[in-house]
Amino acid sequence: MSTYLTPPIPSTLSHTNHNKPAEQKSAEKRKSVDTIYLASIFRRHHTREYSTTLHRCQLFSVECCLLTLRSRLRKNDKYAKKAPLLIAKQKQRQNNVSNPHESTSPSSSQPWLLLLSVFLMVGNGIILELMIAGYSAHLYGDSIYQFSLTIGLFMSAMGVGSWLTQRVERDLERRFIEVELWLSLIGGPAVFLLAMAHIYTRVYTWVMFALIVILGVLIGFEIPLVTRVVHRFGNLKKAIANVLSFDYIGALVGSLLFPLFFLPTLGFTRTSFFIGALNLCIALLNIVVFKEVLGTSRRYLWICSVAIGIFLAVGFVYSTGWIEDARERSTGQKLVYLHHSPYQHIRLIRDIRHPKKPYRLYINGEHQFSTDSERRYHEALVHPAMSMVSSHKRVLLLGGGDGLALREIWRYPDVKEVVMVDLDPAMTQFAKKHKLLRKLNEGSLEDKRLKIVNTDAFLYIKKKRTPFNVVILDLPVPTQIALSKLYTVSFYKTLRKIVHKDGVAVTEAATLDPVENKPFWCLVKTQRTAGWKVRPMLHGPMAFTVMSHKTIQPRQLTLQVAAKHLTTAAIRRAFSLPPDVTLPSPSQPNTLETHRLMYLVLALR
């Protein structure tokens, strides 16, 4: 080990003159203390074990400090001129000398490439989060639970990933590229893996947890690595500010692109593979820019990138077909039509295992109708309500974008106007143009008396003032907050304002099971709390509620048009509930604050 000598204390301070004034003695004493303190720092730095490069850098820094102090003590000393030059030289060395465990490259484009990588990386991470949560909500409902669980677990996993980076001491660029490759390999097929777990296994939740944790750890691992590399090109304050700025901007862009572009254009599965390809592009750009730093490891990184690229390309092209083939083999459902809109996932299939091979429509995974039974449902939904009023001049249809309820409404010749309010224009266009749907709804959406309004039903009834004679609510089951709000006290109170004093409103209720009937009675309680006079109605396995301003007399009802599955006697019997169906006590209404109905529906699944 080399021997280091402590710098000598200036001779002007080594001998004390007792004849000097008190003020001069005090000043010299302070200078002596400062010099001795600095010399002790010098000794401490010398006793530590550093690599050769860092040791020289720190030794030179201490030397500059000593020279500066000496120049202050001896204004005319030669060190007064030499110290500033040495300090400037030291700053230059500090810019050129780095930690021997971290390699650098002089290219000025590298910091901007790394910040661009942060921007894309975080945007991709947000999209992966939204895809996992959205796909889970699409399969199982309860979007608040799915998104809260996904975001919370993802953020926690990012914290674990950030903590693990403290163990990385060298080859930061290579580690960053390797993480990007892992992200592309795991994030790319994420939705495909979830779909396979849903079709073939009963461990979907555990597969979802595993993907969230792995992806969160990888993304959390990257950000500290990038910050440490960017720090080499500027001070720490600037490095952190730049990295976090691009982080937050990337998150914003990703959260907007997913619902507005990726989901409607590519769907869940292909978006996942596309995001994996973006992560692969980030890795490739960094391999090119940091080629001198990577050295021999560059070759295996290229090989891995090519292999992952081929895997992602094949998955992007064939994954959707593979999922549908797997679903067909597992459930006997053959895909006929598939569309992802900004609002919902529309899927028409044919049940090839059923003797009648019926077609079935699903929206966000929820069954809407089957061609072998849809007439029973739509006749029961429309005709009892239409039979309770003397005038059918103005009818409001909330939902029913498939046109099947509208087909039954047009059977009444005195109907002058029907307003259909359906949120998704993709659904109404599908009902207009698809050959099967046009045949089923008998071209009901082409009638000139129809006015289609593509907006939220709650917003529409808030703005509307002209009353309707009949309001028919053909809405999906409330498995999500966006649908649950259309079954709340606030919604039904607002609806009362636009229903004629002699008019009625009807909605589908949950299946009225003698045992599990809490959702049904929760809906009845909600409507009565809003001020309606409510009569429950049961037609086969299907339950409905009819709301009016006046008391309804079912025995006076008469079916006014010909129907295939409904008669006057059947309508009158529908209002007589079985004795085993009783109102549970207590029953709480569904409100915008609690969304109790949604949780009761989900509890039955």
State phi, psi for 574 to the nearest 5 degrees: -65, -25
Which residue has 């309010």 as its token pair?
Answer: 421
463: number of Cβ within 10 Å: 8
* C-alpha angle 137-142-147 in degrees, rounded to nearest 5: 60
User: CB neighbours of 219 closer than 8 A, spacing ≥ 6?
Assistant: 121, 122, 125, 158, 161, 183
Which residue has 């292999």 as its token pair?
Answer: 307
Considering 351, 402, 422, 474, which one is annotated as catalytic?
A: 474
372 catalytically annotated: no
Which residue has 């990577």 as its token pair?
Answer: 294
Q: State both tokens at 581.
A: 């169906």
Helix, coil or strand: residue 427 = helix
Q: State both tokens at 461.
A: 């009834």
Q: Which residues pair with 471 in a beta bridge?
A: 396, 505
Cα distance between residue 499 and residue 471, in whole Å = 7
CB 489 within 8 A of CB 522: no
CB 561 within 8 A of CB 411: yes
Cα distance between residue 287 and residue 294, in whole Å = 8
ω before 586 within 30° of 0 (cis)?
Answer: yes
138: number of Cβ within 10 Å: 19
Q: State both tokens at 311.
A: 């895997």
Largest CA distance in the chain: 128
Residue whose C-alpha is closest to residue 180's, from 296, 101, 290? 290
Cα distance between residue 422 and residue 418, in whole Å = 13
Which amino acids are annotated catalytic? 474
